[in-house]
Amino acid sequence: MRSLRTGLSLASLLATLGTLLLTAPAAHAADTPLRDLGTAKGKVIGTAVTGSKLTGTYGDIAGAQFSSLTPGNAMKWGSVEPTQGSFNWAEADQIVNFAEAHGQQVRGHTLVWHSQNPSWLTNGSWTPAQLGTLLDNHIATEAGRYKGRIAAWDVVNEPFNEDGTYRSTLWYNGLGSGYIARALTDARAADPAAKLYINDYNVEGVNAKSTALYNLVKSLKEQGVPIDGVGLQAHLILGQVPSTLQQNIQRFADLGVDVAITELDIRMALPADSTKLAQQKADYKAVTAACVAVTRCVNLTVWGFADSDSWVDSTFPGYGAATPYDANYAPKPAYYGIAEALGGTTTPPPTGACSAAYSVPSQWNTGFTGNVTISCSGASLSSWKVTWTYGAGQQITQAWNATCTQTGAAVSCTNASYNGTVPDGGSVTFGFNANWSGSNPVPTVTLG
């Protein structure tokens, strides 16, 4: 059984902790971490990360389960050079250092893209010669800074339109399609050991866009341009894993390049339910199995490992639950889909549970606001009660979305008339204000 996380979570005021599962069996990680299952199959298993989150439970999972990290945003041009000539490497450095401390690779993401560029660059008016110099210098600076520490660079990101024509971008419009070869050549010079990739989305199956990418890679190789791999982002929709995924991976492998699944997530219409989560498990398993089937598919990376840390929800309103861990960092069926495709067999997938998680979103000199979120996956509740014991004299003064009573150190909160139902795949949050002095340790909460 997954144990209470109080000890871990004390490290961070904002950490969610004190999780207790109501219904057995508990969702808990397979005995063998994904990274070790991957190693046994010759695959590197990665996740996109945010540097500031690499502590507490998030850091524990990122370090224990994955053998590769991709900075989700930290290495993009707009992040590293917000003002021309003035650099901010803090988050990128933090992620690279964390990866090295945990024996992990880093996928650098990304050197040349049309998005998340600094405004000084996008708003500037540049001659082609100036643009080329900017490109050369950027790659020399960034890839040079991390020389020898990056396993693979997404050198060029998203160069194609859906129909396989080149996307109209700052780079294409200024330099023509030759910007791609130029960027790859620059990257090789800056960091000869890094594998150099072109990365795109909607290129997972055989289609016009992936065929354009295929033809580009073939032509680059024929010209002797350094290109080592293609990244298939794989931002997928539930039940829509392309049937030609493995065939497509194989045709790139046959060209003599590596393939990586670089940004896997599989979104569903919310709310999640056990049927959708089971389909998602099958989808994650199918994607992983396609990579396992092709020797040159070297890396499978998820674009954020937890549902609370995904770009999907804000970008596709009404969709979410796209990652292998839920918002309380419990592994979902999708996690076991990846594990099973990598040969993991030890732990049966969870059949359902509800849990409660306590957090402190804000604290001031004498008071704090607390939240408790009750979440269900593969189970549901029609009423609920959450209890805990304060260890340092904290006193609740006011609660909302629940009725809370405190007797001495013992707190008991029950649902309000309108929020007793927690559906399968859903959650309910209540909040409170409380006083504290001296210290404000986070209690272990019990649901039930």
Q: Could you list the residues that contact ligand G2I (CB under 6 A)?
A: 72-73, 115-116, 157, 201, 233, 263, 311
**Is residue 65 a contact partner of residue 45, using CB atoms and an 8 Å limit?**
yes
Of 234 and 399, nearer to ligand G2I (C-beta) is 234
CA atoms of 212 and 217, how far apart (whole Å):
9
Beta strands in 173-248 (DSSP E): 195-200, 229-232, 235-237
C-alpha angle 362-365-367 in degrees, rounded to nearest 5: 55
Answer for the pair 442, 357: CB distance below 8 angstroms, yes or no. Answer: no
Q: How far is the CB of 322 from ligand G2I (least distance, A)?
A: 11
Q: Which residue lies nearer to ligand G2I by CB, 9 or 233?
A: 233
SS3 content of the chain, % helix, strand, coil (to 5): 30, 30, 40
Token pair 């979902």 in the structure block, residue: 332
Single out the catalytic residue among 81, 142, 263, 340: 263
Residue 10 and residue 441 in contact, taking contact as beta carbons nearer than 8 Å: yes
Min dist. Cβ of residue 315 to ligand G2I (A): 6
Active-site pick, 91, 158, 204, 340: 158
Q: How far is the CB of 11 from ligand G2I (least distance, A)?
A: 23
Chain position whose Cβ is nearest to ligand G2I? 311
Task: For ligand G2I, give the closer residue by CB, 263 or 424.
Answer: 263
Asked if 413 and 385 touch (Cβ cutoff 8 Å), the reply is yes
C-alpha of 103 from chain center: 19
142 is a catalytic site residue: no
Report in angstroms how near the CB of residue 425 gets to ligand G2I at its nearest: 23
Q: Which tokens in the block code for residue 27?
A: 């969702």
Nearest to 422 by CA among 390, 377, 382, 368: 382
d(CA 398, CA 161): 54
Burial category of 367 from C-beta neighbours within 10 Å (exposed 0-12, middle 13-18, buried 19 and up): middle
Q: Which is nearer to ligand G2I, 156 or 290 (CB)?
A: 156
Question: Which of 48, 428 has the CB closer to ligand G2I?
Answer: 48
CB of 284 to ligand G2I, least distance (A): 18
By annotation, the residues acting in catalysis are 158, 263
